[in-house]
Amino acid sequence: MSEPMQDVVVVGAGIVGAAIAHELSRNELAVTLLDREAEAGFGTSKANSGIIHGGHHTDTDTLKGRLEWVGNQLWDPLCDELGFGFARVGELTVALTEADLPALDHLIENAEEKDIGGVEVWSRDRICAAEPQVTRGVIAGVFSPHTAVVNPYEAVFGLVEAAVANNVRLRTLSPVTDLHHDGDTWTVTTPSATFATRFVVNAAGLGAAAIAHMAGVDGFEIRGRKGEEYLLDKRLRHLVRRVIYPCPTPLSKGTLVIPTYDGTIMVGPTAEEVDDPDDVTTTTAGESTAFAGARRLVPSLSERDVIAQFAGTRATIRGDDFLIGPTEAPGFVNVAGIQSPGLTAAPAIARYVADLLRHGGLEMPPKPLLNMIERPVHFASLTTEQQRTLADTDERYRRIVCRCEFVTEGEVGDAIERGATTVDGLKFRTRAGMGRCQGGFCATRCIELLSADLGIEMSEVTKRGPGSWLVLDRPDDEVMIEPEAP
């Protein structure tokens, strides 16, 4: 099926593609956002540490170093606009040996070069007073008040929903199978539709090199770097109040101890080069590595407190910088190699790409008025009086679906109206299934609600898209029934 002529097709609906689509939606443009997954944000973006970095970890001689601090400052207005969870908790990068001290000096130098205020050296005594659970072996640290935590999947959903409200078309389950350029027009082919467009923005993450190759643009290779993360029981909330970093290494920022926006403590990530970009397994070795690194920072951490674990694979390229810019193929823009601090920089990347398109000849008249989206209800965070009022207005808010996270049927229904089509889509939008029992009590009800609201059989409901079915569909006479005990 052929679609109307587009100004821009954005390939990839992760945090970067979503931010680009959202930025473009502010203008009078025809924009389509494509993703191969069942829902936006189901790739790397749903499986990262959720940290908005303070801006002083990267050097200014790299593109990501220049975009990191700009991006950091753009998150507050985005949160105000879209209503996702976001908190500036601050961070401490701690030195455990004399050999670590030059790394702290480098962080201070970066902050001064970028004119980032408030970044300062803390003594051992000050660290121990502020964070009593940090190891007594700490000798010094660098504090930044600018570091924040965010739920990255919530941010993706908000960006995409706002973009769609302003006429961006989202097409999921739409992997790009072919790209062809003729004159001033690109033809983008997916299994279900063909799009003609003036510009293509390649924000395909782990698939960016393959998309570029289809466009006749080579010269870079994507390597997967897997990071495993471990979530701890909420009874440990406030174990630390700031993100705790070790001194960084050339490979990564190390294993962190992270107070998430929702109150859990997260340990990770690891950093392992992998050949299979779809490898998101967690391993015993990864857990041991993560906790060994984390216990150097906070000795009381224990694997016994893990309630969930997951992994995400980051897209890296040689040189470890972002690869963003026009290519020798007219109208084809690469946005590749967006690893850490890609989440932090995403809003700045979006503006950068919009400027590239403008300089490439795309006229972008701003819309006189934008359609705003309503903030989703988070029932657990409301006051008792607000909860009563809402429950009196809509009886769905009287029925609890997820007991661990206190998620109501009203929130689940709202998430489905906003675009959730899978169990994971509900989980990431509402937190149903993210608590201590990990869906043991609420999964069946979530499947029932998806089935009823989407008008599909329960056997058609999936965890995260095709191939991840949850309910077996077979005739009644084939169902095995255990005999009653005598």
Catalytically active residues, by annotation: 53
Residue ranges of E strands in 358-485: 400-402, 407-408
Number of C-beta neighbours around residue 278 at 10 A:
10
Q: Are 454 and 462 in contact (CB under 8 A)?
A: no
The H or E element that residue 63 is part of is helix 63-82
Rg (alpha carbons) of the chain, rounded to whole number: 23
478 Cβ contact list (under 8 Å, min separation 6): none
Give 195's strand partners: 188
How far is Cα of residue 172 from the mean position of the Cα atoms in its chain? Answer: 17
Nearest to 210 by CA among 202, 275, 33: 202
What secondary structure does DSSP assign to 293-313, as a single string? HHHHH-TT--GGGEEEEEEEE
Tokens of residue 265, six digits: 């403590």
Nearest to 434 by CA among 160, 233, 155: 233
Nearest-angstrom CA–CA distance, 68 and 60: 9
Answer whether the bond into residue 366 is a cis peptide, omega within 30°.
no
Residue with tokens 């502020």: 130
> Coil, strand, or helix at residue 423?
helix
DSSP state of 168: P
451 Cβ contact list (under 8 Å, min separation 6): 457, 458, 460, 461
Nearest-angstrom CA–CA distance, 61 and 34: 32
